[in-house]
Amino acid sequence: MRVLRIYTWALIAAMYVPIGVVVVLSFNNSKLPYVWGGFTLRWYQALFGWDLAWQAVLNSTVIALGVALLSTLLGLFMAYTLRGDRYIAFSQGAVVMPEVSEALAFAAALSLLKDYANVNLFGPVGVFLAHLAYTLPMAHVLMAPYVSYVGRNVVEAARILGASELRTVLSVIAPILFPAFIATFLIVFANSFDTYIKTAFTTSPDFITAPILLWNYAARGRGDPTIYALASLMLIPSIAAAVIYFRAVKRYS
Amino acid sequence: MGLSVELKDVSVQYGSFQALKGVSLFVEGGEGLVLLGPSGSGKSTLLRTIAGLITPTRGRVYIGGRDVTELPPDRRGVSMVFQDLALFPHLDVFENVAFGLRIRKVPDDEVRRKVRWALELVRLDPDLFLKRRVHELSGGQQQRVALARALVVEPEVLLLDEPFSHVDLDIKNRLLEELKILHSKLGFTLIYVTHDRFEAVEIGDRIALMKEGEMVQVGKPIELYKKPKNRFVAEFFGEANIVPTSALGLGEKGYAVIRPEDVVIGGNATYKLKGQVVDVTFLWHYLKVEIQSNGHIYKAYVDLETPVSVGDVVEFGWDVRDVYVVEE
């Protein structure tokens, strides 16, 4: 048991310490990662003047907002329609599918479209669709337990008390599901905002998202602390999503 | 005064499963009727068909003489209390009870007045409970809120689907008692589903006993008890000794039904048997004695003073006039 505990903490450390290091380096007044030159905000200042980074963050945000809204709405409808149905297994399967092969299949499909139908979707549309293909089943799986939490009887009780179908949706189902909706929206947003692989396979050279930009710089060994600043800022939506998610979900206990 | 409820030849089919097989039933306005039966007998399906939650595959449903078969639940003017209560988890007690009034666009001050009235009916102090969240309440309190929510709209017909199955026996008995009082005070038609015959006789003027989607017997409790239509009714509605008539020399086909309280030990019976006592149980105001005779176990409810103990060989029997014969 003791060994397991050490292992668990070591694993958590291995996951989070590098992220911490990046955040620390984004405030380091030195270009060398192994020298602490004192605290500074100048990398953040540099970031604010860097148009390409702004464009990338904006692109990521727009894609993630669209993907999150659409997949949460559709995921809710799917969860409602397929509640108690065995088809939920397909959705769950889709969520755990290997990211690379899924992205590859998507890229192949887009290539076929481009070569044989002369429809070029590489770029924002391709990225949007590739993200949606992954986040839709994810939203479905996240929403499903809350939809079944609403319960058939609550809906029936409202109907018998005189509520029309529309009124039941507005006065009963929607308010009960609202926190779950927000929680799912945030998780999907963070996922779409963060993902690199699916974007890399489906974007065009002129459509850069924040993770693509990070990769372009970081993977080529250009250890510019401005990149650390961008990476640190990108943590904010993810952390916010995680915190709000757990708070929202608590309401169902 | 409550409205009458009538079902004519109602069938409900789920795929290949027939949940209701041509059931007909007439419930008078203001009556208290219990739908009784084992699980899977179709009693809940029948209730849900009356409520409009299920559309019958065949047959008609009438409420107050009006054909409501095609009407959705929100236009039937009935109220219902569910087995799992189905309180709205996002609303407090006040808004739960007020729900039906809000839908009916009742003015605010009247909503407040009526919600208080309904909570007082079910003996919840409005000042203490109005602002409470439903998950903070005990099981019995939640039952009362569910009942108040159903009553606040002053329904002509109140449907209850095993409403008290999740509370302790003491609270259940108290709630049944109060429901009975409310029923006679407010005059609505009450249709109550249960699998528990003790609950059934508490609440029902009449009892409709169902089995496997069919209506087996409808009548006053005493009719079902004294004149069961068949062996199933005799067994399900009260304790009974059921013996093939051939074993008692009463004919080739059929079963003799002898209630345990009609069995006497050692006394003056017109039909006598000999047997060995295999079990004696103290049941407050009587003893339950099990006697083995000719490979059959007979149950007898006898006076507490009766001198019997396990192992005794006793003479027992009954008055032949207390034997009721059923054909199947």
Are both B228 and B264 inside the same structural domain?
Answer: no
Are both B115 and B198 inside the same structural domain?
Answer: yes
Are both B253 and B177 inside the same structural domain?
Answer: no
Query: Is residue B231 packed enough to be buried (19+ CB in 10 Å), middle (13-18) or exposed (0-12)?
Result: middle
Q: Is A175 within 8 Å of B90 when comparing Cβ atoms?
A: yes
A 10 A CB-CB count for A174 gives 14
> What pLDDT score was predicted for residue B276?
95
Range of the domain at B149: 5-232
Of A160, A162, A163, the CB nearest to B51: A160
Dihedral angle computed from the Cα positions of residues A115, A121, A123 and A124, in that order, rounded to the nearest 10 degrees: 180
Are both B254 and B226 inside the same structural domain?
Answer: no
Are both B61 and B107 inside the same structural domain?
Answer: yes
> What pLDDT score was predicted for residue A222?
61
Instruction: Give the chain B residue whose CA is nearest to the CA of A156.
Output: B53
Dist CA A81 CA A147 (whole Å): 10
Tell me the pLDDT band of A223, cut-offs 50, 70 and 90.
low
> What pLDDT score was predicted for residue A201?
85
> What pLDDT score was predicted for residue A88?
67
Q: Does residue B53 sit at the A interface (CB-CB below 8 Å)? A: yes
In chain A, positions 158-197, which contact chain B (CB-CB < 8 Å)? 158-164, 167, 171-172, 175-176
pLDDT single digits (tens) A93-102: 766 676 667 7
Dist CA B84 CA B143 (whole Å): 9
In chain A, positions 86-145, which contact chain B (CB-CB < 8 Å)? none
Dist CA B193 CA A29 (whole Å): 76
Q: CA B33 from chain center: how many Å?
A: 8
ipTM over 0.90: no
pTM: 0.78
The 8-class DSSP code of residue A140 comes to H
Mutate to test the interface with B, among A146, A148, A160 (most CBs of B within 10 A): A160
Dist CA A239 CA A243 (whole Å): 6
* Residue B45: partners with Cβ closer than 8 Å, 6 or more residues away: B12, B19, B20, B54, B213
CATH of the domain at B276: 2.40.50.140
Is-contact B171 B178, C-beta < 8 A? no
Q: How many structural domains does chain B have?
A: 2
> What pLDDT score was predicted for residue A152?
79
Q: Is B72 within 8 Å of A159 when comparing Cβ atoms?
A: yes
Are both B205 and B299 inside the same structural domain?
Answer: no
Dist CA A249 CA A180 (whole Å): 6
Is-contact B238 B249, C-beta < 8 A? no
Tell me the pLDDT band of A221, cut-offs 50, 70 and 90.
low
Dist CA B321 CA B271 (whole Å): 10
Dist CA A22 CA A222 (whole Å): 14
Partners of residue B58 on adjacent β-strands: B11
* A·B CB contacts under 8 A: 64
Average pLDDT over chain B reads 93
Q: Is B10 left (phi over 0), alpha (psi -120 to 50) or beta?
A: beta
> Which of A171, A62, A77, A82 lies closest to A124, judged by CA?
A62
Are both B255 and B222 inside the same structural domain?
Answer: no
pLDDT single digits (tens) A180-210: 898 899 989 988 998 888 888 888 888 989 8
Instruction: Give the chain B residue whose CA is nearest to the CA of A167.
Output: B103
Are both B167 and B69 inside the same structural domain?
Answer: yes
CATH of the domain at B185: 3.40.50.300
Are both B173 and B279 inside the same structural domain?
Answer: no
* Residue A228: partners with Cβ closer than 8 Å, 6 or more residues away: A22, A23, A25, A26, A43
Are both B197 and B306 inside the same structural domain?
Answer: no
Are both B213 and B273 inside the same structural domain?
Answer: no
**Where a domain ends, among B175, B198, B232?**
B232
Q: Is B219 helix (H, G, I), strand (E, B) or coil?
A: strand
Task: Evaluate if residue A11 carries a pLDDT over 70.
Answer: yes
Dist CA B216 CA B228 (whole Å): 10
pLDDT single digits (tens) B42-98: 999 999 999 999 999 999 999 999 999 999 999 998 999 998 889 998 899 999 999
**Where a domain ends, among B182, B205, B232?**
B232
Q: Is B188 left (phi over 0), alpha (psi -120 to 50) or beta?
A: beta
Are both B285 and B202 inside the same structural domain?
Answer: no
Q: Work out the percent of chain A whose per-residue pLDDT is above 90.
A: 22
Q: Residue A169: what residue type?
A: V
Fold of the CATH domain A41-250:
MetI-like fold (1.10.3720)
Q: Is B96 helix (H, G, I), strand (E, B) or coil?
A: helix
Q: What are phi and psi of A128, to 5 degrees?
A: -60, -45
Kindly give the pairing relationship between strand B264-265 and strand B271-283: unpaired
Instruction: List CB contacts (< 8 A) between B50 and chain A.
Output: none
Instruction: List CB contacts (< 8 A) between A153 and chain B.
Output: 82-86
> So where are chain A's domains?
41-250
The whole-number average pLDDT for the span B4-29 is: 95
Q: Is B73 within 8 Å of A153 when comparing Cβ atoms?
A: no
**Where a domain ends, among B204, B232, B260?**
B232
The 8-class DSSP code of residue B137 comes to S
Q: What are phi and psi of A35, to 5 degrees?
A: -120, 125
> Which of B168, B188, B209 lies closest to B38, judged by CA?
B209
> What pLDDT score was predicted for residue A110?
86
Q: H helices of chain A, where?
A: 2-26, 42-48, 51-81, 88-95, 99-116, 124-150, 152-160, 165-168, 174-194, 197-202, 210-218, 225-250
A 10 A CB-CB count for B27 gives 25
Rounded to whole angstroms, the maximal C-alpha distance in chain B is: 75
Average pLDDT over chain A reads 85
Task: Evaluate if residue A211 carries a pLDDT over 70.
Answer: yes
The whole-number average pLDDT for the span B184-203 is: 95
Q: Work out the percent of chain B whose per-residue pLDDT is above 90.
A: 80
